[in-house]
Amino acid sequence: MTFFVLVVVSVVVGMLGSLLGVGGGILIVPILTLFLGVPVKNAVGTSLVCVVVTSSASQLVYVARGLTNSRLGMTLEVATTLGALVGGVTAILVSGRAIFGIFAAVLIYVLISMERKPREPLPAAPGSPLAGSFVDPDTGRRVTYGVDHLPGGLALSFVAGNVSGLLGVGGGAIKVPVMSLLMRVPLRPAIATSNLMIGVTAATGALLFFGRGLIEPRYAVPTALGIVIGAQLGPRLSSRVSTGVLRRIFEVLLAVLAVQMALKAFGI
Amino acid sequence: MGERGQERHGGTPAEGPGARHGTGERRRANVDVVVHHTLAVGVAVGFVLLVAGLVLTVSGRGGLPMLSLKAPAAWHAALHLRAAGFYSLGLLALILTPFVRVIGSIVAFAAARDWRFVAVTSAVLAVMIVSIVIGAA
């Protein structure tokens, strides 16, 4: 029974994720822990698998469109994978209640960052080896951009990796603003590159959790299958549903889950 | 985000007549093609293995286990057509897809003689290997 519930829930999460550009992790962990009674560390392990799958499926589209900047992504990944490793080890060592508390805080952060209007600064001047270019679908013109503030970007990428390994989320809500606002990478390549990084980061955490036996097939198999199906369905439904309405539903969901996770942290 | 659907295939977007750095773009395109194939194959293999596991469960060859098997045990179980083996191998295939992707990027950067990024990407691979080792320890 749990199997079918998980498949259905994950199909919905996968669809929401692909339509709104958020990873499934932010929903999977609270759903598994709050409603299905899965221990939080096992939920984090399961969620990491879902995040990897979501990233791989979306990358198929982003890479085909030439939006992903592999050089920039891999450079930042040096810091992010290290962060994920440290975060993953921390997750295995700290108490479950601490994870609930930090998770509640991150849910609130994601909620606030979704409300913020994405501000797009002028792209940085090209010239660095990390510079990239992409075809802007709105204008049909090729845009060439550079990359600013690499040291700051690396430092914050480490933090994003930490959050990912600790909580089983992708961390796109941190990576996209870092690349877009701080490093002045245009929004489309920033989203695509963040998505590449999410997959590599979550895989680093997942490999750690898999070895530790914290990825249980009875939870991970139905969720992974559901996410693959949902991620395929999402783009096909995009012309028929209003993203505005979905976004509202998603935000209410995040708020409810944040309260619940905070209560768990205090043992209520 | 306004990008989804359509043009899933076809490697990289066509170069307009105004495209400047010819060889650089072509090298980048090669990296992208390698990455694209790795991802597609990885997700498909993982999905098929998990579904195969389900088929075996339905035909009475083991349920959904609590613990995932380590790679050698999973391989052994799969050869004996036990569902648990397929589940663990399927999950591993999904998790390892980005890992293989990173290896693919190293190869593609090396083919493009872009040694700086061969080094950078190798550092990422090294961290991933450390997490496999710590996990298995």
Residue B65, min C-alpha distance to chain A (Å): 6
pLDDT (tens digit per residue) in B89-115: 999 999 999 999 899 889 888 888 889
Residue A65, min C-alpha distance to chain B (Å): 6
ipTM of the complex as predicted: 0.85
In chain B, where are the structural domains located?
Answer: 25-136
Q: Are A220 and A45 in contact (CB under 8 A)?
A: yes
Chain B residue numbers with beta carbons less than 8 Å from the beta carbon of A203 are 95-99, 128
Instruction: Retrieve residue A152's tokens.
Output: 């700051």
Q: Up-side HSE of residue A11: CA atoms within 13 Å toward CB?
A: 8
Q: How far apart are CA B63 and CA B92, in angstroms?
A: 18
3-state secondary structure of A159: helix
Closest CA to A176 of A159, A162, A194, A189: A194
pLDDT (tens digit per residue) in A4-58: 889 999 998 888 877 776 667 888 888 888 888 888 888 888 999 998 988 888 7
pLDDT (tens digit per residue) in A113-133: 777 766 666 777 777 788 888
Q: What is the pLDDT of residue A137?
A: 72
Could you tell me which residue, A234 or B40, shows the higher pLDDT? Answer: B40
Residue A127, min C-alpha distance to chain B (Å): 12
pLDDT (tens digit per residue) in B3-53: 333 333 333 343 333 334 445 555 556 667 777 788 889 989 999 999 999
Q: Is the pTM of this model over 0.80?
A: yes
Task: State the residue range of the domain holding A148.
Answer: 2-265
Instruction: Retrieve residue A102's tokens.
Output: 């930090």
Within 8 A by CB and 6+ apart from B49, the residues are B86, B87, B89, B90, B93
Could you tell me which residue, B21 or A172, shows the higher pLDDT? Answer: A172
Query: In this complex, do A216 and B68 lie within 8 Å of one another by their Cβ atoms?
Result: yes
Number of domains in chain A: 1
Instruction: Retrieve residue A211's tokens.
Output: 């070895």
Chain B residue numbers with beta carbons less than 8 Å from the beta carbon of A142 are 16, 18-19
CB contact A103 to B (< 8 Å): no
CB contact B72 to A (< 8 Å): no
pLDDT-derived band at A154 (thresholds 50, 70, 90) equals: very high
pLDDT-derived band at A69 (thresholds 50, 70, 90) equals: confident
